[in-house]
Homo-oligomer: A and B are copies of this chain.
Amino acid sequence: MSISSVLPSQTSGASLQAKSLIQEAGERPTLSRQVVLEILLNTPRALTHTEIASAAAEAGNALDRVTLYRVLDWLIDKELAHKIASEDRVWRFNALSRDAQNSSSTHEHAHFQCKYCGQLYCLDELRPAFAFTLPPGFQCEHAELTLRGRCPDCQD
């Protein structure tokens, strides 16, 4: 999947969606925030900081590197997005669906990362459920499940 395929168009409904999501949260819908959220809403997979910066630049709304970091942190703080760590030491960001926002288990979903292209997908339908016993003294508050393998784009 190329970067341009996830580009938002300034006249699309997604732009309005991004703006209204921010306004509904009672926050300032600045251009930077709209652009970034729009990009995240328009792609099914999680994007790296670099990918988001490229997409914004190609859309004619180049953002400063630092500003993008701050916008992303802000989106996470407002629970409009979340970030996922992976083995390549790069954060990937994805918009949170409205459903997920209303759910009490907002961040409780599994992830899939392709071993071959590195793309990372949220598996919203897949809620980890398992039984285990921890060694004494350990208290579990949260479980993260990441599946690794081959994504649809990397079939032989």
**Interface size class, chain A:** 35 or more
A89 in the interface, Cβ–Cβ < 8 Å?
yes
Asked whether B129 lies within 8 Å of A140 as measured between CB atoms, the reply is no
* CB of A74, distance to nearest CB on chain B (Å): 19
Closest B residue to A136 using CB positions: B152
Q: Check A143 for interface membership: any CB of B closer than 8 A.
A: yes
A115: contacting residue among B89, B129, B141, B151, CB under 8 A: B141
Could you write out 21 A-B pairs with CB less than 8 Å apart? A85-B87, A85-B89, A89-B90, A123-B135, A128-B145, A129-B130, A130-B130, A132-B147, A134-B147, A137-B151, A138-B150, A138-B151, A139-B150, A140-B149, A141-B148, A142-B147, A143-B146, A143-B147, A143-B148, A144-B145, A146-B146
Chain A residues at the B interface, C-beta cutoff of 8 Å: 85-87, 89-90, 110, 112, 115, 121, 123, 125-126, 128-130, 132-152, 155
